[in-house]
Amino acid sequence: MKQKVLVTGANGYIGKNVINYLLNNNIEVVAADISLDKISDKVKKIETNIFENTDYLFSNLENVNTCIHLAWRNGFVHNSITHLEDISLHYKFLKKIYESGIKNINVIGTMHEIGYWEGEVDNETSTNPISFYGIAKNSLRQSLKILEESDKELLIKWLRVFYIQGDDKNNNSIFSKIIQKEEEGAKTFPFTTGKNKYDFINIKILAEMISKAALQTDITGIINCCSGKPVSLKEKVELFLKENNLEIKLEYGAFPDRSYDSPAIWGNNNIISKIMKKALIK
């Protein structure tokens, strides 16, 4: 039987790229989000609030065998109270997904679950989140681990992402803000020191990682979707300016580095590298 995947948060920055990758690899997709104006008409579209109108959603999930849960509001506002308010909604929704018979469940995670950490992050790295966003994601991960222990056939994969780049006009990152200021005619862009090192991953590669990790069933648990290489923010942004022929100059030190940002944090990518090599879709 042809694989059929439910993608929630489908209209978002990551969602639309994941769907494009799945479609390009002949995977049937059911896309769910409040709005789906950015999504190809080749998918089955379910425009709904997945937490409120679940009957409508679940009536359209025939033959779906995999869920990729990307839905999350205010992801770029790390201390929005909505993160704490929504934890139980995500858990209840995913539990209902499981109870409907979909036992391959994949949920997007974040490096912000870790909190302040210097060095490589692997599956044994302790979590100590220090933002509402990180706290909420980590709580959901821990809750789903308890759910998974109730059924040996339930497969839960926690797809932990790090610093995403690409499709930069739509990602609400430092890169999108630089483009905006350039288009406004600004000569300089206020910046931090740029010394902090992160694990950058291009959105197209990330979409491939998420898709392949979700479709395979041999490896579960935490899967770091990352490059495995620390690169300074300064180096990455300077390269971005050069590659895009931008004239705006960085005003280093205009803003202090955020207190909860680690001097250097990157992921161990051994597991995702193994999955990418063995995956059935190319």
Average pLDDT score over the chain: 93
Domain with residue 113: its CATH number is 3.40.50.720
Does pLDDT of 282 surpass 50? no
Cα separation of 223 and 220, whole Å?
Answer: 7
**Residues linked to residue 6 through DSSP beta bridges, in sequence order:** 30, 67
- Residue 179 is assigned to a structural domain of this protein: no
- Domain range spanning residue 82? 4-164+200-226+269-278
- Residue 14 is assigned to a structural domain of this protein: yes
- Residue 178 is assigned to a structural domain of this protein: no
C-alpha neighbours within 13 Å on the C-beta side of residue 124: 0
- Contact yes or no for 226/201 (Cβ under 8 A): yes
Please list the active-site residues.
133
More confident: 158 or 55: 158
- Residue 241 is assigned to a structural domain of this protein: no
| Total length of the chain | 282
Does pLDDT of 262 surpass 80? yes
Cα separations in angstroms, 144 against 76, 99, 100, 157, 202: 23, 13, 16, 10, 28
- Residue 8 is assigned to a structural domain of this protein: yes
* pTM (global) more than 0.85: yes
Confidence of residue 173 (pLDDT cuts 50, 70, 90): confident
Does pLDDT of 2 surpass 60? yes
Mean pLDDT of 154-176: 86
- Residue 175 is assigned to a structural domain of this protein: no
Number of domains in the chain: 1
